[in-house]
Chains A and B, each alone.
Chain A
Amino acid sequence: MVGVALSSSWLSGDYWIFSKERLLQRYIIIRLFHGLIAFIGVTMVVFSLVRLTGDPLDNLLGEEDDEETAAYVSELWGLDRPLAEQYFTYMRNLSQGEFGPSFSFDASAAELIKKRLPNTLLLGGLAAMISFPLSLMLGVVTAVKRDSPFDYGGKTLAVMGQATPDFWIAIILIWVFAVTLGWLPTSGKGGLSHLVLPVFVLALPSAGTLRLMRSAMLNQLDSEYIKLARIKGLPEWKIIWKHAFRNAAIVPLTFASVVISSLVTGSIVVETIFAWPGMGQLAIQAINARDYHVVQALALMGSVILIMLHIITDILYVYADPRIRFTKMQS
Chain B
Amino acid sequence: MAIDDELTQEGIITNSLIGKLQKFYKGLRNLPWIWVSILLVVLVIPAIFAPILAPHDPYEGDIAIRLAPPVWDEGGSWDHILGTDRLGRDLLSRLIYGSRIALFVSMTALLVSATVGTTLGLLSGWYGGWVDHLIQRLVDIKSSIPAILLALIFVSIFGPSIFIAISIIAIFLWNRYTRLIRAETLALRNMDFIARARVSGASTTRILLKHILPNVGNTLIVLATLEVGTVIILESTLSFLGVGIPRPIPSWGVMVSDGRNYLAVAWWIAILPGAGIFFTVLSLNLFGDWLRDHLDPKLRQTRR
Residues on A close to B: CB < 8 A?
34-35, 37-39, 41-42, 45-46, 49-50, 52-54, 146-149, 152, 155-156, 159-160, 162-168, 171-172, 174-175, 179, 215, 218-219, 264-265, 268-269, 272-273, 283-284, 287-288, 290, 295, 298-299, 302-303, 306-307, 310, 331
Contacts and interface: CB of A to CB of B under 8 A. Distances in A.
Closest 8 CB pairs of A and B: A168-B274, A302-B146, A163-B282, A41-B141, A38-B140, A163-B281, A303-B144, A53-B156
- The B interface, classified by DSSP as helix, strand, loop or mixed, is helix
A215 B237 contact: no
A38 B112 CA distance: 24
B141 A174 contact: no
A273 B10 CA distance: 46
Given A165-B237, A302-B145, A283 B264 contact: no
Interface stretch (B66-74, B161-169, B296-304): B296-304
A54 B281 CA distance: 37
Contacts of B145: 42, 45-46, 299, 302-303, 306
A218 B304 contact: yes
Interface residues on B, range: 35 or more
A46 B140 CA distance: 14
A49 B157 contact: yes
Contact of A179 (B148, B257, B263): B263
B278 A164 contact: yes
A265 B147 contact: yes
Interface stretch (B17-25, B56-64, B93-101, B210-218): B17-25
Contact of A152 (B22, B143, B274, B279): B22
B170 to A, nearest CB: 16
A9 to B, nearest CB: 15
Given A149-B21, A152-B25, A268-B148, A175 B263 contact: yes
Contacts of B153: 46, 49-50, 53, 287, 295, 299
A162 B285 contact: yes
B178 to A, nearest CB: 14
Interface of B: 10, 12, 18, 21-22, 25, 136-137, 140-141, 143-150, 152-154, 156-157, 186, 229, 233, 236-237, 240-241, 253, 256-257, 259-260, 263-264, 267, 270-271, 274, 277-279, 281-282, 285-286, 301-304
Given A41-B140, A49-B157, A159-B285, 16 more contacts: A37-B140, A38-B140, A147-B18, A152-B22, A156-B25, A163-B285, A165-B253, A167-B236, A168-B277, A175-B263, A175-B270, A175-B271, A268-B148, A299-B153, A302-B149, A306-B146
Given A152-B22, A171-B271, A218 B302 contact: yes
A171 B144 contact: no
B175 to A, nearest CB: 12
Contacts of A152: 21-22, 25
Which of B141, B154, B236 has the largest number of chain A CB atoms within 10 A?
B141
A50 B150 CA distance: 10
A20 B239 CA distance: 49
B240 A215 contact: no
A269 B140 contact: no
Contacts of B233: 165
18 contacts: A41-B144, A45-B145, A50-B153, A147-B10, A148-B18, A149-B18, A160-B278, A163-B278, A163-B281, A168-B271, A175-B271, A265-B146, A265-B147, A272-B241, A284-B152, A287-B156, A303-B146, A310-B144
